[in-house]
Chain A
Amino acid sequence: MSERPCKKDLLNKINMVSFAVDDVKLFLDTHPCDEEALAYFREFSRMRNEALKEYAANFGPLTVDTAVYSCSDVWNWTDEPWPWQEGGC
């Protein structure tokens, strides 16, 4: 990891691309063969997975699947604030 990313910017990116994934997922449920929607899904899903991985590596995991990339040697899932708390995501 070359340079530590800005926590706020990275979280904003995760929120943005995740919203796009959530939304196109609903569209795909009823339009499973839509090429444009499928391409959109693949692109944003890839960006989301990368961003979640980068977040875990720098600031701690937001998901169990990225906990393996965590910056900590110990289980730090409960160390970072919860989303409703000050400093949370």
Chain B
Amino acid sequence: MWCYEKRLQHPIKITQTNPKIAQIIISQFGGPDGELAASMRYLSQRYTMPYKEVTGILTDIGTEELAHMEMVCTIVYQLTKNLTPEEIEKSVFGTYYVDHTLALWPQAASGTPWTAAYIQSKGDPITDLHEDMAADGATV
């Protein structure tokens, strides 16, 4: 069970649009080391985690990653909000716009769609924690 809180973990107020930066930032949403992968990694692994402290921390960090995902999506949304067709056409966001307009869709910067293949959930605590350290270490 989850409850939504109607605020961002940290406020985001972007006033200057920039499709080029949005094309890069979107990887932190739907890329291999993005927030969607992070939350799905933790929230999938927790069921078979044999230590209650670790189950707790996987649950609470996995939840916080969802809040991070919301901030990243907000950044992309605000960076591309109200762009004109001309601005979109001449930017790197043009090919994205063909399929998704300015909607948020989880993909990597390369255009590769988000996939569960980005994460691992193995049922072995050492294996899963190594997976988590490798994935979160990539974003540090």
Contacts and interface: CB of A to CB of B under 8 A. Distances in A.
Interface in B68-102: 70, 73-74, 77-78
A69 interface: no
Interface in A13-28: 14-15, 18-19, 22, 25-26
A84 B73 contact: yes
Contacts of A80: 6
A83 B8 CA distance: 6
* Chain B, interface SS category: helix
A26 B57 contact: yes
Contacts of A25: 60
Contact of A30 (B9, B11, B57): B57
Contact of B5 (A30, A62, A84, A88): A62
A63 B64 CA distance: 16
A77 B60 CA distance: 25
Nearest to A31: B53
Nearest to B15: A86
Given A29-B53, A30-B53, A83 B60 contact: no
B3 interface: yes
A44 B76 CA distance: 32
B5 A63 contact: yes
B57 A29 contact: yes
10 contacts: A11-B11, A22-B60, A22-B64, A26-B64, A63-B5, A63-B6, A64-B3, A83-B74, A84-B73, A89-B8
Interface of B: 3-12, 53-54, 56-57, 60-61, 64, 70, 73-74, 77-78
Interface of A: 11, 14-15, 18-19, 22, 25-26, 29-30, 32, 61-65, 77, 80, 82-84, 88-89
Given A18-B9, A32-B53, A62-B7, 8 more contacts: A11-B11, A15-B10, A26-B64, A61-B6, A63-B3, A83-B7, A84-B70, A89-B11
